[in-house]
Amino acid sequence: MSVLAVGLSHRSSPVALLERVALNGETRTKAVGEMVGSESVNEVMIVSTCNRTEVYADVSAFHGGVAAVTELLSWHTGVPLGELSEHMYVHYEDRAVQHLFSVTCGLDSMVVGEGQILGQVRDALKEGQESGSVGRVLNDLGQRALRVGKRAHTETHLDHAGADMVSFGLTVASGGLGLGPTGAPRTTADQTLPAVDAVPPAGCPMSADPRDTVEAPGLAQPTHGPLTGVRVLVLGAGSMSALSANTVSRQGAAAVVVANRTMERAARLAECLTEAYETVDARAVPFEDAADTLAEVDLVISCTGAQGLVLAADAVAAATAARTRPLVFLDLALPRDIDPAVRGLAGVELVDIEDLRQAAATAPGTDTGRDSALTLARGIVDEEVAEFRAVRRAHQVTPTVVALRAQARDVVESELSRLHGRLPDDLDDRAREEITRAMRRVADKLLHRPTVRVKELAAAPDGESYEAALRELFALDPGTPEALAATEGPATAAPTAQEKP
């Protein structure tokens, strides 16, 4: 079987199209089910973020797999196939593996090196495991991708060299607040907010995976920061919203209001912020009351995952009619949460994914430490792709090796049966058992070197030819139930995305 990657990202597609192809909730579930049910597709995992929608699949045929994935993607998103194809990229086998590894490391992100994508890939893998759309091939690939992402960030400190999506968004949005790095009026020389190590409070809903959270270092954070005095409304209480709330708190926000459809999650996030930051006034409000808080805040950050707009322009206009200070919206959602029409309101500024993409495209890339980290991370990806290829090819030759050993075993047993009929009757059982063990040892020793060697050669370029030669020389059938069971058996013990250490 072969790995296929089909997708669109901020590098290949305008944000307006990314918004249309975003697969969420029931639509994604139906699309995955139909893809797996198609003739050429065996397994599917979908990675959907504010920067990309990508389908990873284990396919039995390249053209059939591409056709099934693209046609169903078009059908479920309503985007014509021709329009989709103009912006879509396709990767196959090693290039598909390399792409996923690069994505998981943050090398293909809008903010290069950001670490949130690691959790998003983990969530995609877990979702596929729970739905049954991910089998052995994509489970192995996904687990390896998570390992590569962790290794890249650990060994290169890539996320320290770069920024994350929230910090980058705040840097772009801070211009509308008119603030400098300590809350003072912003000057032309002050173009960026300093990076802040946003460590989530213990137990905060920072991520679906508890390993993404660590104990907060107490309440000894600075009382002044780039957002000193700013009052913030956070819409949503998922991982990105929690990261946003934590980041603005560390940057000195005076107050954080959390609005979420599930009041319990909003209250828990507000409680976490209160416990971790003694200078932050954090509270939760029902989601339907979010518009009522617009009059009291300076910055609104939204990333809800909703299918439609959560704040319409008329609601914003009504809530801000009496304002005398600016109100900035940072919309990190895809599809977008904030009505683009708010750009036409006096005193209101909107920064969304399209604005961030343009800012990222024009941002200078002269940081020597960052460039060094990127080079190291790309080297890790190349190394891991080669290792994964070797493991996969060695695994693919296993049915042939099993078939060869089964054939040898049958020959040995046949000869033993014939031999035992000719041995003297007075030969004791112990001697007969020793003869049996000796013949089996001879067969095992004769096969050991060639079977080990064929696995090694299978990992090399054109390694399939060695397996084919082995099948032809010994008239082997690697499709026998015994041979297939040898490759499929361990899959039941494969760790889940949560269980993998």
Annotated catalytic residues are 50
Q: Is 60 annotated as a binding residue?
A: no
Q: What is the C-alpha to C-alpha distance for residues 378 and 98, in angstroms, rounded to an integer?
A: 10
Q: Is 240 annotated as a binding residue?
A: yes
197 half-sphere exposure, CB direction, 13 A CA radius = 10
Q: Is 221 annotated as a binding residue?
A: no
Q: Is 320 annotated as a binding residue?
A: no
Residues 119, 164 contacting (CB under 8 angstroms): no
Q: Is 358 annotated as a binding residue?
A: no
Q: Where are the beta strands (DSSP E) in 64-183?
A: 89-92
Of 123, 126, 106, the C-alpha closest to 51 is: 106
Q: Is 50 annotated as a binding residue?
A: yes
Q: Is 237 annotated as a binding residue?
A: yes
Residues 188, 201 contacting (CB under 8 angstroms): no
**Residue 43 phi, psi (nearest 5):** -140, 155
The DSSP bridge pattern shows strands 299-302 and 281-286 to be unpaired
Q: Is 109 annotated as a binding residue?
A: yes
Of 390, 410, 392, 393, the C-alpha closest to 482 is: 410
Q: Which residues, in sequence order, are CB contacts of 72 under 8 Å at separation 6+?
A: 31, 34, 35, 38
Q: What is the C-alpha to C-alpha distance for residues 394 and 475, in angstroms, rounded to an integer?
A: 20
Q: Is 74 annotated as a binding residue?
A: no
Count other Cβ atoms within 10 Å, centred on residue 83: 14
Q: What is the C-alpha to C-alpha distance for residues 394 and 390, in angstroms, rounded to an integer?
A: 6
Burial profile 38-51: b = 16 or more Cβ within 10 angstroms, e = fewer: bebbbbbbbbbbbb
Q: What is the C-alpha to C-alpha distance for residues 396 and 405, in angstroms, rounded to an integer?
A: 16
Q: Is 120 annotated as a binding residue?
A: yes
Q: Is 49 annotated as a binding residue?
A: yes
Report the Cα–Cα distance between both ends of the chain, in Å, rounded.
27
The DSSP bridge pattern shows strands 255-260 and 281-286 to be parallel
Q: Is 204 annotated as a binding residue?
A: no
Which amino acids are annotated as binding site for NADP(+), given as ranges? 236-241
Q: Which residues are annotated as a binding site for substrate?
A: 49-52, 109, 114-116, 120
Annotated binding site: 49-52, 109, 114-116, 120, 236-241
